[in-house]
């Protein structure tokens, strides 16, 4: 029975570590076991969810092989163990190391990238929760100053914590900061914290007054620029208790930032008509049209382009009489980048009825326009 269990363990481990090097150092000091036994023990502990013990053997394995493929898989397993014990930042580090080796199999690569997309947010949530709980512990001990610092820090990382019951901390923080005496260099920080706590309490008018004091009395301080930003938010009817911190982009450290093409096509106009397309977070429309009557068939006076939607929209209008000097157009929004390239623009003359002279007048007209439209999603 014991032989069967050992055989099964060996087979399961071999699926993950497909190549195991038995090479030992040529010095007199040897390891107490070979790398295959080390990794078998690590895998056994990993399958039992005993991540802390498994880490000991995985780390040991790193010093027992020079195979880049095994090293990559070891870093991946270490990342999984650290993730299992909720050490997300350290797990992120080892997933990045696994990818940096360039020897991780495709399946594990995709899993590592997926984890790198989400772990920084989990790490930030974990830290925010820790700070919030720390603030509540300080508050229970009536250490209001420390409670304020940790509470505001937790909100920067995770604004949704404002929905949790802070057990009266905000009210007591307002009183504490109102009557606190500080030195001149620390006074702007006290006022900024007071303004934030007043806003959290819902006392917007007093918060604005406090922010104005910072700007007037301490115009050269770092807090003054923050106060001005908050005042701008108030004037535009936006609520912004604190400048929130975005999770770290771990993927960018192991990839090259490249925009992703989400639309590309070529359109040709040899007559009046319009074309419109909607894409993710944007869109465009192209239109060839006439304003005067009597324009010959297959000719048009105007060509209009609309890129983007809503507030992120830009219009372009070209007339045959003015010609089209641009060979390309680029336009950026917060998330998209538009490229338009005119591969062919043909202008000819057409004759239309002149209402005043009664004769025909020669006017420039478009006969054809070919344009390539490409839209990229910006890498963030």
CATH number (domain holding residue 199): 1.25.40
Residues 276 and 364 in one domain: yes
pLDDT of 238 over the 80 cut: no
Q: What are phi and psi of 143, to 5 degrees?
A: -90, 80
Structural domain contains residue 121: no
Q: Mean pLDDT over residues 18-29, rounded?
A: 49
Domain span at residue 299?
Answer: 260-377
Residues 366 and 268 in one domain: yes
Residues 79 and 21 in one domain: yes
pLDDT of residue 49: 94
Q: Mean pLDDT over residues 328-352, rounded?
A: 88
- Domain end marker among 184, 201, 235: 235
CA atoms within 13 A of residue 219's CA, in its CB half-sphere: 1
Residues 137 and 196 in one domain: yes
CATH code at 35? 1.25.40.10
Q: Mean pLDDT over residues 230-250, rounded?
A: 71
pLDDT of 306 over the 90 cut: yes
Structural domain contains residue 136: yes
- Residue 120 · residue 128 · CB < 8 Å: no
pLDDT of 261 over the 70 cut: yes
pLDDT of 379 over the 70 cut: no
pLDDT of residue 5: 47
The structure's pTM equals 0.55
- Residue 352 · residue 370 · CB < 8 Å: no
Higher pLDDT, 164 or 82: 82
Give pLDDT tens digits for 27-80: 566 666 788 899 999 999 999 999 999 999 999 999 888 899 999 999 999 999
pLDDT of 286 over the 70 cut: yes
pLDDT of 358 over the 70 cut: no
C-alpha distance from residue 282 to each of 275, 304, 309, 312, 335 (Å): 15, 17, 5, 8, 9
- Cα–Cα distance, 147 to 141 (Å, whole number): 9
Residues 9 and 78 in one domain: yes
Structural domain contains residue 278: yes
pLDDT of residue 110: 85
C-alpha distance from residue 201 to each of 28, 172, 205 (Å): 70, 11, 11
pLDDT of 24 over the 50 cut: no
pLDDT of 325 over the 90 cut: no
Kindly report the average pLDDT of the chain as a whole number. 84
Give me the torsion for CA of 152, 245, 94, 106, rounded to 10°.
Answer: 140
Tokens for 112, please give them. 């590592």
Beta bridge partners, 316, equal 305
Structural domain contains residue 243: no
pLDDT of residue 22: 42
Burial bucket for residue 82 (CB in 10 Å: 0-12, 13-18, 19+):
buried
pLDDT of residue 21: 45
pLDDT of residue 69: 92
- Residue 121 · residue 96 · CB < 8 Å: no
Higher pLDDT, 92 or 236: 92
Banded pLDDT at 355 (limits 50, 70, 90): low
Q: Say which range, 85-89, 146-150, 308-312, has the weakest mean pLDDT.
A: 308-312
Q: What percent of the chain has pLDDT over 90?
A: 44
- Domain end marker among 199, 220, 235: 235
pLDDT of 251 over the 50 cut: yes
Structural domain contains residue 247: no
- Residue 245 · residue 155 · CB < 8 Å: no
Banded pLDDT at 85 (limits 50, 70, 90): very high
Residues 298 and 350 in one domain: yes
Number of domains in the chain: 3
- Residue 371 · residue 343 · CB < 8 Å: yes
């Amino acid at each position: 029975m014991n032989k069967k269990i050992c055989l099964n363990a060996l087979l399961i481990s071999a699926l993950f570590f497909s190549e195991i090097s038995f090479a030992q150092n040529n010095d007199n000091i040897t390891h107490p076991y070979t790398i295959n036994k080390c990794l078998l023990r690590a895998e056994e502990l990993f399958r039992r969810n005993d991540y802390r013990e498994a880490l000991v053997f995985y780390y040991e394995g790193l010093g027992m092989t020079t195979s880049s493929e095994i090293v990559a898989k070891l870093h991946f397993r270490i990342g999984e163990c650290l993730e299992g014990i909720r050490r997300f930042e350290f797990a992120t580090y080892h997933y990045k190391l696994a990818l940096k080796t360039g020897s991780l199999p495709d399946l594990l690569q995709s899993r590592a990238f997926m984890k790198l997309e989400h772990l920084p947010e989990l790490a930030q949530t974990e830290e925010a929760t820790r700070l919030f709980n720390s603030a509540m512990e300080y508050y229970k001990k009536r250490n209001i100053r420390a409670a304020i610092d940790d509470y505001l820090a937790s909100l920067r990382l995770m604004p949704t914590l404002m929905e949790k019951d802070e057990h009266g901390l905000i009210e007591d923080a307002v009183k504490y900061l109102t009557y606190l005496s500080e030195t001149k260099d620390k006074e702007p920080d006290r006022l900024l914290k007071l303004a934030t706590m007043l806003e959290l309490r819902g006392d917007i008018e007093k918060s604005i007054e406090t922010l104005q004091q910072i700007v007037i009395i301490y115009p050269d301080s770092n807090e003054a620029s923050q106060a001005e930003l908050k005042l701008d938010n108030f004037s535009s009817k936006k609520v912004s208790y604190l400048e929130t911190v975005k999770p770290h982009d771990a993927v960018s450290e192991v990839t090259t930032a490249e925009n992703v093409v989400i639309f590309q096509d070529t359109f040709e106009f040899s007559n009046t008509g319009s074309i419109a397309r909607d894409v993710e977070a944007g869109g465009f429309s192209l239109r060839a049209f006439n304003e005067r009557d009597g324009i010959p068939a297959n000719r048009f006076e105007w060509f209009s382009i609309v890129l983007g939607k809503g507030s992120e929209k830009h219009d372009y209008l070209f007339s045959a009489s003015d010609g089209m000097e641009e060979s390309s157009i680029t336009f950026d929004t917060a998330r998209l980048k538009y490229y338009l390239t005119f591969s062919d623009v043909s202008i000819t003359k057409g004759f239309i009825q002149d209402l005043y002279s009664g004769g025909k007048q020669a006017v420039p007209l478009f006969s054809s326009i070919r344009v390539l439209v490409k839209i990229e999603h910006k890498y963030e």
